[in-house]
């Protein structure tokens, strides 16, 4: 190396050693000025919701805008654009005409917020609860993973950000503001671009974008007890089932119009084989399921009897509620809500492989792609005077129960997030013997809630706080959370 290069190298080394490498930390308490004046002076204070005391204040740390969205032991206290369901507002409200007003009024031991201060917080949340630069916490991102839960009690869908496990939005669904249409199922399309809502007491199916949860289309299908929708692998058709009406509607999901419909006995749960050839539908009453030939323009079907040798009947017997295909496609599982069992069948020839006893009233399924597990919610399984319901974990290889877990009160909807190895379980909590909700809401009735199973340990998931402590994850949602769907 020549002397000139050596001199240049030494010069650069000396120069960089003199440069101040200190990077100014971003202002994490970056609420808008008017909001900061309220929260920093009246909420994130010593002994309350600051970064020292928050563990004893419901786990809610309001010391910075970023920490606000970590939520607490009952879930998300502020939900962007949702003043009706952000319970931070409930506890600073002293006028029930403006919305729910809950005790204890905060700030505890100090004067309540003035009307002007309350209105400042209200307007801020209504505008998305942005930081001082106008940035919102959950901007639309195509790669964002989400968990959707429909509230059958109040025509709302909770959208949970899978990264933080917190509610990022509530989406109003339904076609008639004067009627509770009772969304019974949310189904994400196979390509992950759309989600569809089916209404038990409505007459439409609605299509939304998973990017920004914006309504894209509405299909009119007339009144019936619409329960579920199955979507073809290419995402072009949907099969919507009216159980007691004994009807399945075939929808063009691209144009959101009805193509045809056919009659079938008590259709409820179902799946479509990966090749798009067969639609399996449970019969909510009886001892059979139906196998529909999707290559036939008339949708002919045959019964698969749940117990070989029996004669087909629609009298209450096993009463198949839901059905799911294993991840390898070789086996399908049927939840029999009256006989309290799961029946496993070989896909290739529909032969019965196993009868697996489970808890009381087995309902919904979810399957893991990382573990050989099929999860089934047993909604009415008696545990104790204050606990009801379990999730049974079936090993899809051995076709036997691996374990069962009491996850909360009246578990129903369930979905697996294999990216984080979590199983989301929605609990109806409709029975007054269940745990008292932490708060009420504009929706009315008893709030339900969500807990998670950690697939790695098969125990209930515990969320960590920055101080190193942990707590049992529980996200309180609105009335009657019925179905859960995961958008990867």
Q: Which residue has the higher pLDDT, 81 or 6?
A: 81
Please check whether residue 145 is in contact with residue 460, taking contact to mean a CB–CB distance below 8 angstroms.
no
Virtual torsion, Cα 326, 328, 329, 332, nearest 10 deg: -20
Taking the whole predicted model, whether its pTM rises above 0.85 is answered as yes
pLDDT of residue 2: 43
Tell me: pLDDT of 15 over 70: no
pLDDT of residue 72: 82
Over its C-alpha atoms, the chain yields an Rg (Å, rounded) of 26
Listed range (104-113, 418-427, 471-480) with the worst mean pLDDT: 104-113
Question: Which sign, positive or negative, has the C-alpha torsion 456, 457, 458, 459?
Answer: negative
Closest CA to 355 of 382, 329, 334, 377: 334
Go through the domains of the chain in sequence order and give each one's CATH number.
33-126 (no CATH), 359-488 (2.130.10.10)
Question: Residue written as tokens 């939005």?
Answer: 169
Listed range (22-26, 365-369, 446-450) with the worst mean pLDDT: 22-26
Q: Give the separation between CA 314 and CA 284, rounded to whole angstroms.
A: 9
Tell me: pLDDT of 22 over 50: no
pLDDT of residue 14: 34
Q: Give the separation between CA 361 and CA 378, rounded to whole angstroms.
A: 5
Order the strands of the 362-367 sheet from edge to edge: 362-367, 373-384, 387-395, 400-405
Please check whether residue 66 is in contact with residue 154, taking contact to mean a CB–CB distance below 8 angstroms.
no
Q: Give the separation between CA 157 and CA 160, rounded to whole angstroms.
A: 10
Q: Which residue has the higher pLDDT, 41 or 150?
A: 150
Mean pLDDT of 435-464: 89
Q: Give the separation between CA 58 and CA 71, rounded to whole angstroms.
A: 9
Segment 451-471, tens digit of pLDDT: 999 999 999 999 887 777 888
Res. 253 pLDDT band, cuts 50 70 90: very high
Q: Give the separation between CA 209 and CA 488, rounded to whole angstroms.
A: 14
Mean pLDDT of 2-11: 37
Tell me: pLDDT of 4 over 60: no
Mean pLDDT of 219-248: 98
Question: What is the overall mean pLDDT for the chain?
Answer: 91
Beta-strand ranges (E) seen in 265-371 are 267-272, 278-283, 288-293, 301-305, 320-325, 331-336, 341-346, 351-357, 362-367
Token pair recorded at residue 201: 């007491």
Segment 25-55, tens digit of pLDDT: 344 448 999 999 999 888 877 778 877 778 7
Give the three-class secondary structure for 122. Answer: helix
Listed range (167-176, 342-351, 461-470, 474-483) with the worst mean pLDDT: 461-470
pLDDT of residue 24: 36
Q: Give the separation between CA 468 and CA 165, rounded to whole angstroms.
A: 18
Task: Please state, for a pLDDT cut of 70, what percent of the chain lies above it.
Answer: 94
pLDDT of residue 101: 83
Mean pLDDT of 109-119: 90
Q: Which residue has the higher pLDDT, 192 or 60?
A: 192
Res. 19 pLDDT band, cuts 50 70 90: very low
Tell me: pLDDT of 419 over 70: yes
Token pair recorded at residue 13: 């080394």
Q: Give the separation between CA 314 and CA 55, rounded to whole angstroms.
A: 55
Non-local (6+) Cβ contacts of 329 within 8 A are 273, 274, 347
Size (the chain), residues: 488
pLDDT of residue 442: 72
Segment (H or E) for 402: strand 400-405
Q: Which residue has the higher pLDDT, 53 or 177?
A: 177
Segment 375-417, tens digit of pLDDT: 999 999 999 877 899 999 999 999 999 999 999 999 999 999 9
Q: Give the separation between CA 122 and CA 89, rounded to whole angstroms.
A: 7
Mean pLDDT of 105-123: 90
Strand 351-357 to 362-367 pairing: unpaired
Virtual torsion, Cα 175, 168, 159, 475, nearest 10 deg: -120
Tell me: pLDDT of 441 over 80: no
Q: Which residue has the higher pLDDT, 73 or 15?
A: 73
Segment 298-338, tens digit of pLDDT: 999 999 999 999 999 999 999 999 999 999 999 999 999 99
Q: Give the separation between CA 220 and CA 131, rounded to whole angstroms.
A: 41
């Amino acid at each position: 190396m020549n002397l000139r290069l050596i001199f240049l190298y030494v010069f650069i080394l000396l120069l960089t050693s003199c440069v101040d490498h200190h990077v100014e930390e971003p202002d994490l308490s970056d609420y808008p000025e008017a909001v900061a004046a309220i929260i920093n002076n009246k909420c994130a204070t010593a002994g309350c919701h600051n970064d020292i005391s928050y563990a004893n204040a419901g786990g809610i740390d309001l010391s910075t805008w970023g920490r606000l969205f970590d939520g607490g032991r009952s879930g998300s206290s502020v939900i962007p654009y949702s003043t009706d369901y952000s319970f931070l507002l409930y506890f600073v409200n002293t006028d029930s005409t403006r919305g729910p007003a809950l005790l204890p009024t905060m700030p505890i031991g100090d004067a309540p917020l003035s009307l002007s201060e309350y209105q400042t917080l209200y307007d801020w949340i209504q505008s998305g609860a942005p930081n001082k630069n106008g940035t919102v916490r959950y901007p639309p991102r195509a790669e964002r993973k989400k968990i959707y839960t429909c509230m059958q009690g109040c025509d709302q869908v909770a959208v949970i950000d899978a990264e933080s496990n917190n509610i990022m939005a509530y989406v109003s669904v339904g076609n008639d503001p004067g009627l509770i249409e009772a969304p019974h199922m949310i189904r994400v399309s196979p390509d992950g671009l759309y989600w569809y809502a089916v209404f038990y007491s409505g007459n439409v199916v609605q299509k939304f974008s998973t990017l920004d949860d914006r309504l894209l289309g509405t299909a009119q299908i007339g009144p019936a007890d619409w329960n579920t929708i199955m979507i073809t692998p290419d995402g072009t058709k949907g099969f919507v089932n009216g159980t007691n009406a004994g009807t399945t509607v075939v929808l063009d999901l691209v144009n959101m119009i009805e193509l045809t419909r056919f009659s079938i006995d008590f259709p409820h749960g179902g799946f479509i084989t990966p090749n798009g050839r067969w639609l399996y539908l449970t019969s909510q009453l009886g001892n059979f399921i139906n196998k529909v030939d999707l290559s036939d323009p008339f949708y002919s079907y045959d019964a698969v009897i749940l117990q070989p040798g029996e004669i087909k009947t629609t009298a209450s017997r096993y009463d198949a509620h839901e059905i799911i295909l294993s991840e390898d496609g070789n086996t399908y599982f049927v939840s029999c809500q009256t006989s309290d069992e799961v029946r496993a069948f070989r896909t290739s020839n529909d032969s019965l492989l196993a009868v697996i006893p489970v808890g009381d009233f087995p309902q919904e399924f979810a399957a893991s792609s990382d573990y050989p597990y099929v999860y089934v919610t047993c909604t009415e399984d008696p545990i104790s005077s204050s606990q009801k319901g379990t999730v049974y974990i079936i090993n899809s290889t051995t076709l036997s129960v691996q374990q069962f877990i009491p996850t909360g009160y009246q578990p129903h909807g369930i979905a697996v997030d294999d990216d984080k190895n979590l199983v989301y379980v929605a609990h109806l909590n409709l029975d007054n013997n269940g745990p008292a909700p932490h708060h009420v809401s504009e929706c009315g009735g008893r709030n339900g809630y969500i807990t998670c199973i950690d697939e790695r340990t098969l125990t209930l998931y515990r969320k960590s706080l920055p101080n190193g402590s942990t707590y049992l994850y529980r996200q309180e949602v609105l009335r009657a959370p019925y179905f859960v769907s995961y958008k990867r």
